[in-house]
Amino acid sequence: MSCNVDDSDEIFDDDDDDCSMEVCTKDSHHSGPSNMPESCYVKLTADDIVKEQRKLIQNVVELTKLPGHTARQLLQEMKWSFENVAVLYYDDQDKLFAKAGISVNGEAIDAVAVRGSSGSFVLDQQTITCQVCLEDFEREEAEKGMSTASGCGHVFCNACWVRHITTQVKEGQAARISCAGETFVEGKRRRCNIILDECFVEELLRGSGGSAEILKKYQTRLIDSYVNNNPTIKWCPATDCTNAIRVTDSFDPSSFDTSVECSDGHVWCFNCLDEPHAPAECSNVKEWRKKCQEDSATSNWLVAYTKDCPNCKVAINKDGGCNHM
Amino acid sequence: MDLKRLKKESVELQEPIEKCGVTASPIKEDLSHWKGYILGPDDTAYAGGKFEIDIVLTSSYPFEPPKMKFNTKIWHPNVSSQTGAICLDILKKEWSPALTIKTALISVQALLAAPEPDDPQDAVVAQEYKSSIEKFKATAKLWTERYAKEGSMESIQPLLDMGFSEEQAKDALLEARGDVQAAVEKLLSGA
Ligand SMILES: [Zn+2]
Ligand SMILES: [Zn+2]
Ligand SMILES: [Zn+2]
Ligand SMILES: [Zn+2]
Ligand SMILES: [Zn+2]
């Protein structure tokens, strides 16, 4: 990489005595933002994230032949890395399943106690009672108006499912909405711990009695739980921006420049979410921000933490020497 | 609030308390406020006691748990000795809409038989439970006698007639092991 100076641009502005960071935003410049090769990261929109998440779940379902909700739990547990799930799957299945709280045959350990408890969907019965509203359903009515959670077999009427899910979403749940059923564990009654599959939830919320607002909230939270539990993905910190960045294996968090650019052109440091700050390190920026807060007269961080590269006159980190020589 | 379900629950709870150890009935017409009772489990310090439980239902019941607390004072690690607040997981995050007032009351009753001192509601009681189980049992038993056995001491009336409070009278009778004469002497001597 060359050390060409873009002479039309000043890296920092000495006169600037407020705390904004005036940094060159030209990609051509070696200390400018987004200097990181684009192979190091992928630009994502909210839709891309949903698709990516579904694809990962599908991959795990195909690999392990487990139901979707279990695959989701496994991925959540393994920080959404398919590779990690796959490696452990071939290496030590018991350990993998234990990690996600599921037994070897793919059922939640606690859910085993559910079998034989109230509400299993037995179609040879004439009527079936919804154990939530205590309403009786005839066979044909039940087939249309009731649904069963996969994994435990608890059956409730769709209206009760919708109300249960709606209450849970309102309370802030999404990725871990459990079945409305009850179970008996170690002599104690408690809720069934089967996590509802996202397709099951969405189908119910789209049906009668579900609200579009709750569905939207649910989907947003699911994405959040994916992004927040996935160290390789971060939301763009710009206000109201719904894009995200996923870094690839070639991303080096300790590299000289860790700034990335989202689909809408916002540029930020992937490590610390602050504005791009190469050649200063994230910790320098943090210190500088703190100092700024304490002392409004503090001058530009570049003055404090960098010096000019003797070769190209571009600001470089004071500790590191010029990274380009 | 699901009135249809609540009416069914109300019918189910009308059985006499002796049958399954718990009972409850609505005290407000809109079925949002109930009064329940549980019998202290046999072979515990609460045996023979009848404990009143205050039950409030939100408009989201049964999708939200019922709010329950003891109206009768009780000495138990998972119940506040001051307010009667109950620390029980199924009344919070382990609640399922398939549970009912009845199953919740049965779970509270089970809690009396199996305290969980590591998840206490009342730190003082939990501390006593852990450090001296015998002392804990004695206090719990005393409180059961004092607060959960209304009318069980027929001999209390003469003491009340003399102008002593119910608590004073009960304590004196407990200490005198039911001997009214001894209790009166005790009260009069100001001990
Ligand atoms: Zn240079
Ligand atoms: Zn129902
Ligand atoms: Zn279930
Ligand atoms: Zn952005
Ligand atoms: Zn940074």
Among residues 100-119 of chain B, which lie with CB inside 8 Å of chain A?
103, 106-107, 110
The verdict on residue B131 lying in a domain is yes
Range name among A271-280, B81-90, B123-132 with the lowest pLDDT average = A271-280
Element (H, E) at B169: helix B166-175
Residues B95 and B133 in one domain: no
Q: How confident is the model at residue A109 (pLDDT cuts 50, 70, 90)?
A: very low
Residues whose Cβ atom is located within 5 A of ion ligand 3: A 149, 152, 154, 179, 181, 192, 194
Does residue A75 have a pLDDT over 70?
yes
Ligand with smallest separation from the Cα of A131: 2
Residues B107 and B146 in one domain: no
Q: How confident is the model at residue B152 (pLDDT cuts 50, 70, 90)?
A: low
The verdict on residue B25 lying in a domain is yes
Range name among A82-96, A99-113, B125-139 with the lowest pLDDT average = A99-113
Ligand with smallest separation from the Cα of A269: 5
Range name among A185-194, B5-14, B62-71 with the lowest pLDDT average = A185-194
- Is residue B20 part of the annotated active site? The answer reads no
Residues B44 and B80 in one domain: yes
Measured between CA atoms, the residue of chain A closest to residue B5 is: A133
* Backbone angles phi and psi of A228, in degrees to 5: -70, -20
* Angle between the N-to-C axes of helices B166-175 and B133-147, in degrees from 0 to 180, rounded to the nearest 10: 130
Q: Catalogue the E-assigned strands of chain B.
A: 22-26, 33-39, 50-56, 67-70
Report yes or no: A153 at the B interface, CB cutoff 8 Å: no
DSSP B91: G
Among residues 17-76 of chain B, which lie with CB inside 8 Å of chain A?
60, 62-64
Q: What is the pLDDT of residue B178?
A: 65
Q: How far apart are CA A8 and CA B99, in angstroms?
A: 72
Q: What is the pLDDT of residue B86?
A: 96
Q: How far apart are CA A306 and CA A302, in angstroms?
A: 5
Residues B179 and B157 in one domain: yes
**Most confident among A85-89, A174-178, B174-178 (mean pLDDT):** A85-89
Question: What end-to-end distance do the CA atoms of chain B give, in Å?
Answer: 53
Report the domain count for chain B: 2
Question: What end-to-end distance do the CA atoms of chain A give, in Å?
Answer: 9
Q: What is the pLDDT of residue A13?
A: 40
The three state secondary structure string of chain A is CCCCCCCCCCCCCCCCCCCCCCCCCCCCCCCCCCCCCHHHEEEECHHHHHHHHHHHHHHHHHHHCCCHHHHHHHHHHCCCCHHHHHHHHHHCHHHHHHHCCECCCCCECHHHHHCCCCCECCCCCCEEECCCCCCEEEHHHHHHHEEECCCCCEEEEHHHHHHHHHHHHHCCCCCCCECCCEEEECCEEEECCCECCHHHHHHHHHCCCCCHHHHHHHHHHHHHHHHHCCCCEEECCCCCCCCEEEECCCCCCCCCCCEEECCCCCEEECCCCCCCCCCCCHHHHHHHHHHHHHCCCCCCHHHHHEEECCCCCCEEECCCCCCCC
Q: How confident is the model at residue B154 (pLDDT cuts 50, 70, 90)?
A: low
The verdict on residue B118 lying in a domain is no
From the list B62, B94, B103, the residue facing A132 with the nearest CB is B62
Mean pLDDT of B119-124: 91
Domain boundary among B47, B82, B113: B113
Q: How confident is the model at residue B18 (pLDDT cuts 50, 70, 90)?
A: confident
DSSP B66: P
Domain boundary among B91, B113, B135: B113
Q: What is the pLDDT of residue A298?
A: 47
Torsion of CA A99, A105, A108, A112, to 10 degrees: -140
Ligand with smallest separation from the Cα of A313: 1
Q: How confident is the model at residue A15 (pLDDT cuts 50, 70, 90)?
A: very low
Q: Is B78 helix (H, G, I), strand (E, B) or coil?
A: coil
* Backbone angles phi and psi of B87, in degrees to 5: -105, 100
Residue B64, domain CATH = 3.10.110.10
Q: What amino acid occupies position B170?
A: K
Report yes or no: B12 at the A interface, CB cutoff 8 Å: no
DSSP string, B97-125: TT--HHHHHHHHHHHHHS--TTS-S-HHH
B98 contacts on A by Cβ (under 8 Å) = 118-119, 131-132, 154, 156, 180-182
Domain boundary among B74, B89, B113: B113
| Interchain CB distance below 8 Å, B90 and A119 | no
**Domain-by-domain residue ranges, chain A?**
46-228
Q: What is the pLDDT of residue A23?
A: 37
Residues B171 and B144 in one domain: yes
Residue carrying structure tokens 């106690």:
A113
Q: How far apart are CA B88 and CA B120, in angstroms?
A: 9
Q: What is the pLDDT of residue A115?
A: 28
Residues B85 and B49 in one domain: yes
Note whether B78 and B88 are within 8 A (CB): yes
Does residue A316 have a pLDDT over 60?
no
| Selected residue with higher pLDDT from A276 and A199 | A276
Residues B26 and B47 in one domain: yes
Report yes or no: A300 at the B interface, CB cutoff 8 Å: no
Report the DSSP beta bridge partners of residue A246: A42, A233
Residues 6+ positions from A129 with CB-CB distance below 8 Å: A119, A135, A136, A137
Q: What is the pLDDT of residue B82?
A: 93
Q: What is the pLDDT of residue A12?
A: 40
Does residue A317 have a pLDDT over 80?
no
Note whether A133 and A159 are within 8 A (CB): yes
Does residue A44 have a pLDDT over 90?
yes
Q: Which domain, by its residues, includes B9?
A: 3-113
Q: Which tens digits make up the pLDDT trace of A200-234?
A: 898 899 987 888 999 999 988 888 888 888 889 99
From the list A154, A156, A191, the residue facing B95 with the nearest CB is A191
Q: How confident is the model at residue A167 (pLDDT cuts 50, 70, 90)?
A: very high
Measured between CA atoms, the residue of chain B closest to residue A131 is: B98
The verdict on residue B127 lying in a domain is yes
Note whether A190 and B90 are within 8 A (CB): yes
Mean pLDDT of A300-321: 52
| Interchain CB distance below 8 Å, B99 and A118 | no
* Percentage of chain A exceeding pLDDT 90: 25
Q: What is the pLDDT of residue B136?
A: 94
Report yes or no: B99 at the A interface, CB cutoff 8 Å: yes
Could you count the other beta carbons within 10 Å of the beta carbon of residue A323? 17
Q: How confident is the model at residue A301 (pLDDT cuts 50, 70, 90)?
A: low
Mean pLDDT of B14-34: 89
A170 to each of A167, A177, A205, A211, A223, how far by Cα in Å? 5, 11, 13, 12, 16
The verdict on residue B15 lying in a domain is yes
Q: What is the pLDDT of residue A32?
A: 43
Question: Of residues B38, B57, B86, B87, which has the active-site annotation?
Answer: B87
Report yes or no: A311 at the B interface, CB cutoff 8 Å: no
| Interchain CB distance below 8 Å, B96 and A192 | yes
Note whether A73 and A100 are within 8 A (CB): yes
Q: Does domain A46-228 have CATH number 3.40.47.10?
A: no
Q: Tell me which of A134, A137, A193 to substitute to probe the interface with B (most B C-beta atoms closer than 10 Å).
A: A134
Does residue B120 have a pLDDT over 80?
yes
Q: Closest by alpha carbon to A276, among A291, A262, A287, A260?
A: A260
Residues B84 and B135 in one domain: no
Q: How confident is the model at residue A111 (pLDDT cuts 50, 70, 90)?
A: very low
